[in-house]
Structure 1
Amino acid sequence: MGAMEIGLLFLAGFVSGAINAVAGGGTFIAFGALSLLGVPPISANATSSIAQLPGYFTSTLAYWSSIRQVVRSAVFLAIASMVGSLCGALFLLWLSNDRFAALVPWLLLAATALFAAGPWLKPKPTEADDETQRSTLASIAVQSIASIYGGFFGAGMGIMMLATLGLTEGGDYHRLNALKNLLSNVIAIVAIVVFISGGVISWPGALAMIPGVALGGYGGVWAAKRVPQTAVRMFVIAVGLFLAGYYFWRG
């Protein structure tokens, strides 16, 4: 990997981190940059996962006071997330690159549609009296499904979890977002361990992107105050549709 490719991946990481800070959806940028530089799709997906990890950590720290209040109630959801992510990541490694490449455009279309519907999928605020912690078999089952998807592909995972947690868990938006951030870390860490064990990480690509993601996440806070989220969302949707078209064309 030459200096130009490293520079492009650093820039893609920066844009990815900034977009995640503003509106979410940065995975599209990271995965797309790696794919367009010729990284095989399974490796591009795995490398994108490890590159996004700093953003998951920082978003968790931002909600630390809320997370401390939900840790005990999230134990069973975290266990479900670990099992689901493990299954999803192992299934990804079981597939060949050709089989996964055939699925990628459909996954990208689904993730883009999910991202586009994000504003309508956000949980509605609830009154303080309704903020009960209702972890049930239903919420565990739904979280298992979401985490299988997160371990397998991951794009749009945060939006999916906000929607499903809003249906199955009690509490206001901040509590649900804290839960989502905590569980995203669990899903990402389990998947990354599997990907590293499977030897599918492109380490030059990951090392080029991680500093960019970290800086972009910091800069995204500045951008969030100045750039309309609608414009960022339209950009991410356009990237998702472009990548889906690219993989359809390659197939």
Structure 2
Amino acid sequence: MTAWELAAVCLAGVVAGAINAVVGSGSLITFPTLVALGVDPVTANVSNTVGLVPGSFTAAYGYRAELRGQRERLLRLGAASAVGALIGGILLLFLDPDVFEVVVVALILLACVLVVAQPRLNAWVAARRAEPRPHGGAALWLGVLGAGVYGGYFGAAQGVLLIGLLGIFLDDGIQRVNAAKNVLALIVNGVAAAFFIVVAEVDWQAVAGVALGAIVGGFLGARLGRRIPPLILRAVIVCVGVAAIIVLVYG
């Protein structure tokens, strides 16, 4: 990887780290960037997951005030995220690589749809938030498990999925829901990354570039991301997602 390519990966990591802190879907920035630079799609996904872990940590740390009082909830839901991430990581490595290239296109398309639909999703979530549910019950635990499988397998838009699930089943403000989302995403990325480091091929140059950028982006996203117009964020994510689909299908 040349110096210019590494710089491009770092920049993508900054943007992805910021988006993950505020919305989720940062992998739609870093993953297609790595693929466009010639990294094999499965290796790119593995390296992207490993590289985004430091950014997930800084994003969660940036929301530490909103995390107060959520310890017991996050211990319960974090177990679901960890189990789901491990299942997703196993599926990624042991399914046929050709299957991954087909499935990932569908996942990117689904992620783009979720990002575009987020305003309506948030409105629906707000309308459903009527009864107090401190931990969300079995339905939320299973939903978070499913999101963990998705996150361990690919990861893009897992933040959007988590915000939707947490908002529906918990009686809490959107900022506290977003803070919980950041912790659960950190658990998913961390477990999947640990698994990949042991058993998969990792492009450590790509990891370094994504990680350096994501650390900065996580801090920026936690502090300043709420001021970025959501419409601009969604437009950027969708454009990059469409570009990723084109690269994967025609590259």
Tell me the CA shift for residue 27 of structure 1: 1.2
Task: Give the conservation status (yes or no) of the 8 Å contact 1:21–1:224.
Answer: no
- Could you tell me which residue of structure 1 aligns to residue 30 of structure 2? 30
Tell me the CA shift for residue 155 of structure 1: 0.2
**Identity, % of aligned pairs?**
32
Name the amino acid aligned to 1:91: L
- Could you tell me which residue of structure 1 aligns to residue 90 of structure 2? 90
- Could you tell me which residue of structure 1 aligns to residue 241 of structure 2? 240
Q: What secondary structure does 1:200 align onto?
A: coil
Q: Mark the CA change 1:175 to 1:12 in structure 2 (over 3 Å): closer, same or farther.
A: closer
Task: Give the conservation status (yes or no) of the 8 Å contact 1:126–1:172.
Answer: no
For 1:194 and 1:186, locate their aligned partners in 2 and report how far apart those are by CA, in whole Å: 12
Tell me the CA shift for residue 49 of structure 1: 1.3
For 1:140 and 1:22, locate their aligned partners in 2 and report how far apart those are by CA, in whole Å: 23
Tell me the CA shift for residue 8 of structure 1: 2.0
> How many aligned positions are there?
248
Tell me the CA shift for residue 61 of structure 1: 1.3
Q: What secondary structure does 1:39 align onto?
A: coil
- Could you tell me which residue of structure 2 aligns to residue 41 of structure 1? 41
Tell me the CA shift for residue 100 of structure 1: 1.0
Q: Does 1:151 align with 2:152?
A: yes
Moved more, 173-182 or 236-245: 173-182
Moved more, 200-209 or 6-15: 6-15
TM-score, normalised relative to structure 2: 0.89
For 1:146 and 1:165, locate their aligned partners in 2 and report how far apart those are by CA, in whole Å: 11
Q: Which runs of 5+ in 2 are unaligned?
A: none
For 1:171 and 1:37, locate their aligned partners in 2 and report how far apart those are by CA, in whole Å: 42
Q: Which runs of 5+ in 1 are unaligned?
A: none
- Could you tell me which residue of structure 2 aligns to residue 124 of structure 1? 126
For 1:18 and 1:65, locate their aligned partners in 2 and report how far apart those are by CA, in whole Å: 18
Cα deviations by residue, 1:163-199 (Å, 9 ceiling, x for unpaired) = 1112222222233222212211111111001111123
- Could you tell me which residue of structure 2 aligns to residue 78 of structure 1? 78
| RMSD between aligned residues | 2.3
Task: Give the conservation status (yes or no) of the 8 Å contact 2:10–2:213.
Answer: yes
TM-score, normalised relative to structure 1: 0.89
Q: What secondary structure does 1:73 align onto?
A: helix
Name the amino acid aligned to 1:97: P
- Could you tell me which residue of structure 2 aligns to residue 104 of structure 1? 104
For 1:222 and 1:146, locate their aligned partners in 2 and report how far apart those are by CA, in whole Å: 26
Moved over 6 A (4+): none
Tell me the CA shift for residue 67 of structure 1: 2.1
Q: Mark the CA change 1:3 to 1:178 in structure 2 (over 3 Å): closer, same or farther.
A: closer
Tell me the CA shift for residue 21 of structure 1: 4.8
For 1:111 and 1:7, locate their aligned partners in 2 and report how far apart those are by CA, in whole Å: 26
